[in-house]
Amino acid sequence: MHIPFKRSFNRKNNEMRPIEIIPDYYSYGDGSCLVKYGNTHVICAATIDEKVPLFLKHTHTGWITAEYGMLPCASHERIEREASKGKQSGRTLEIQRLIGRSLRSVVDLNIVGERQIKIDCDVIQADGGTRTASITGGYIALCLACKKLLKRSLIPANPIRNHAVAVSCGIVNGEAMCDLDYLEDSNAEVDANFIMADNKIIEIQACGEKHPFDETAFKTLFEYAKNARNLLIEKQDEALASV
């Protein structure tokens, strides 16, 4: 007899956890929010830096970059502090490269001009999906920073061309599920992150954690992700409208 897996927040398989975005989490800084995917809480904060990396000097082009971190006690098991180990893990570097790449792809960097916007995503509490929450929240911090630049007439127009949202889907105990929490993620046979921009794809990372998987599974996860996208964009618009 098959005992169905009980999802947190009493969710159906294609449902996300409660999503909450609190914009302007910091009174200072250039744009920030606290984003929650259920019990996963991430502070995202943008800093405008008038200095660009060397490779952009004299190109009149801007850059978006991201940094990602997790408090040592944010997770179920304490994770050693990267600052005291003296280096960031491969996982951290991979995630912050993903966040930066995703946000850059929805921005017109020529409009941003020769400056850099740095997005810090710091996980206060981790319950699965920290990288996807970081992208969804990083987008808000980025929008607020661009709004500030626009208000000060430092840029001629809004450089944001698309929303950027993300969700992790997966196959757990043989069932496709949307927005995995920590327990589901630890048991997932397939783990797929979808970063989406309105009706387009920014990035797909789908991985059979233990075994290869078939194309049908992938297609179901993709459908779930497209549903989640709509909700996330709605939440982002509400948050931005409230500022």
CB 172 within 8 A of CB 192: no
The contacts of residue 132 (CB under 8 Å, 6+ apart) are 37, 166, 167, 168, 179, 193, 195
By CB under 8 A, name the one of 13, 61, 88, 227 that touches a copy of itself. 88
Q: Binding string to a copy of itself for residues 30 to 69, with x set by CB under 8 A, is what?
A: --x----------x-x-x-------------------x-x
Q: Residue 25: in which H helix or E strand, if any?
A: none
Q: Binding string to a copy of itself for residues 103 to 132, with x set by CB under 8 A, is what?
A: --xx-----------x-x-x-xx-------
1 versus 215: smaller Cβ distance to a copy of itself: 215
Q: Residue 146: in which H helix or E strand, if any?
A: helix 130-151
Of 95, 78, 174, nearest to 129 by C-alpha is 95
| Number of residues engaging a copy of itself in binding (CB under 8 A) | 58
Q: Residue 223: in which H helix or E strand, if any?
A: helix 215-241
Distance CA 9, CA 38 (A): 8
By CB under 8 A, name the one of 9, 78, 156, 173 that touches a copy of itself. 78
Q: Applying CB under 8 A, which residues contact a copy of itself?
A: 26, 28-29, 32, 43, 45, 47, 67, 69, 71-73, 76, 78, 81-84, 86-88, 90-94, 96-97, 101, 105-106, 118, 120, 122, 124-125, 162, 196-215, 218
